[in-house]
Structure 1
Amino acid sequence: MAPAALPTLARLGFAGVLLVYFWNSARTKLGDGPFGFLFPSDGAYIQIFPKAVEAAGYDIGQLGLVHYAVVLAGTLAEFVLPALLISGLFTRLAALGMLGFITVQSLTDIYGHGVGGEALGRWFDVAPDALILDQRALWALLLTVLVFLGAGPLSIDRLVSGRRG
């Protein structure tokens, strides 16, 4: 029963705990208008490339095409990957993508934004709520279940594959 229940519960847990978090984060990166995803906000660049933006005197126009491509891809990933996970479509690939995203997000927080101390946390201590090491380790565990077990029986992946059980 576990191979069917665990992926379904992992997707439900992701939806309940992280879906709105990632979608709200992505919304802060959108520019104005219906094509705002193509014209990310200054805040998107500040969130993703804090040191480069500071070095450019907060003039986003001084950043290059690579910066734009990374910001655009990161913003789209925050919308698309959670949607794929929730629907159970390309679940293993989407979970791998989210693991990569969370790794980059964590490294950006640590090295770009200077997160440290209690917010960084330590494993095997008495505080289970540090933003980086504690919380994101649990996020990664949840996503790893989906990488290894797939989406479970209630998914588009299962419907498309035609497998039962």
Structure 2
Amino acid sequence: MHFICAVARTYDRIFARIQAFLSPWFPGLFARLVFAATLWLYFLNSALTKVEPGIAGFFMVRNSAYYQIALPAVEAAGGNVSAVPFLPWGLIVHLGTYAEFALPLLIIFGLATRLSALGMLGFIAVQTLVDITVHQVGGETIGALFDRFPDSVILDQRLLWTVPLVMLVIFGPGKISLDYLAARITRRWHG
């Protein structure tokens, strides 16, 4: 019995030291790296379909953005995007388009990370709602949780997308981030 207790204490000590070493910097950095490696290019490519090409084109939202984000409003306007009212639909399309560019970069660099991760969680929720209600994807695309198939595009994949974002909301970006650097600078100026 003493042997088992000694092994348990050793196990606890080893992993307590590992946790103490890693917890200030690794979880946030790892979550941001996972986000960058798996989702950044997805959202960048999606955002690029919503603006015109080139530097000047970046400031011009395409008609396709309205079809992707505000299809019911476009249909109500008879397919004429210029007839879609700016408030609220045009504003939603513009904010959604540029949020899709900005929020992932803020997360990757660890700047306003918690707020940006919350924004991306909201973005994913709205994207999912639009896919299901507006684009009316089928049940096989939506999938089901707690089934034996881990590859549905909506429920399975997007649930996994939220894991690093939830980690960032709860634990923050860690010490290797612009948030941490900004906090240190602010403390020096005001402390």
Same fold (TM > 0.5): yes
Pick aligned residue for 1:80 from 98, 102, 105: 102
* Cα displacement (A) at 1:3: 4.7
Judged with a 3 Å threshold, the aligned counterparts in structure 2 of structure 1 residues 20 and 51 are, in CA distance, closer, same or farther, namely same
For 2:66 and 2:92, how far apart are their aligned partners in 1?
9
Could you state the TM-score of these two structures normalised by the residue count of structure 1?
0.92
2:80 aligns to what? 59
Q: CA RMSD in A?
A: 1.6
Q: Percent identity?
A: 49
* Cα displacement (A) at 1:33: 5.4
1:139 aligns to what? 161
* Cα displacement (A) at 1:92: 0.4
1:16 aligns to what? 37
Pick aligned residue for 1:148 from 170, 174, 177: 170
Letter in 1 for 2:184: G
Could you state the TM-score of these two structures normalised by the residue count of structure 2?
0.80
1:25 aligns to what? 46
Letter in 2 for 1:82: P
2:28 aligns to what? 7
Which sections of structure 2, spanning at least 5 residues, go unmatched? 1-21, 186-191
For 2:93 and 2:71, how far apart are their aligned partners in 1?
12
For 1:116 and 1:152, how far apart are their aligned partners in 2?
39
Runs of 4+ that moved beyond 4 A: none
1:130 aligns to what? 152
For 2:47 and 2:115, how far apart are their aligned partners in 1?
20
After the TM superposition, which of the residue ranges 95-104 and 1-10 deviates more from structure 2? 1-10
Judged with a 3 Å threshold, the aligned counterparts in structure 2 of structure 1 residues 8 and 46 are, in CA distance, closer, same or farther, namely same
Give the number of the structure whose alpha-carbon radius of gyration is greater. Answer: 2
After the TM superposition, which of the residue ranges 113-122 and 49-58 deviates more from structure 2? 49-58
Question: Number of matched residues?
Answer: 163
Which sections of structure 1, spanning at least 5 residues, go unmatched? none
Judged with a 3 Å threshold, the aligned counterparts in structure 2 of structure 1 residues 145 and 95 are, in CA distance, closer, same or farther, namely same
Pick aligned residue for 2:64 from 34, 39, 43: 43
Kindly indicate whether the alpha-carbon contact (under 8 Å) linking 1:102 and 1:136 is maintained by their aligned counterparts in 2. yes
Judged with a 3 Å threshold, the aligned counterparts in structure 2 of structure 1 residues 31 and 126 are, in CA distance, closer, same or farther, namely same
CA deviation string 1:38-76 (max 9, x = no partner): 431111000001222233232101100121111110011
For 1:127 and 1:17, how far apart are their aligned partners in 2?
20
Structure 1 residue 94 and structure 2 residue 79: aligned?
A: no
3-state SS, counterpart of residue 130 of structure 1: coil
3-state SS, counterpart of residue 164 of structure 2: helix
For 1:37 and 1:111, how far apart are their aligned partners in 2?
29
For 1:32 and 1:161, how far apart are their aligned partners in 2?
37
Kindly indicate whether the alpha-carbon contact (under 8 Å) linking 2:73 and 2:89 is maintained by their aligned counterparts in 1. no
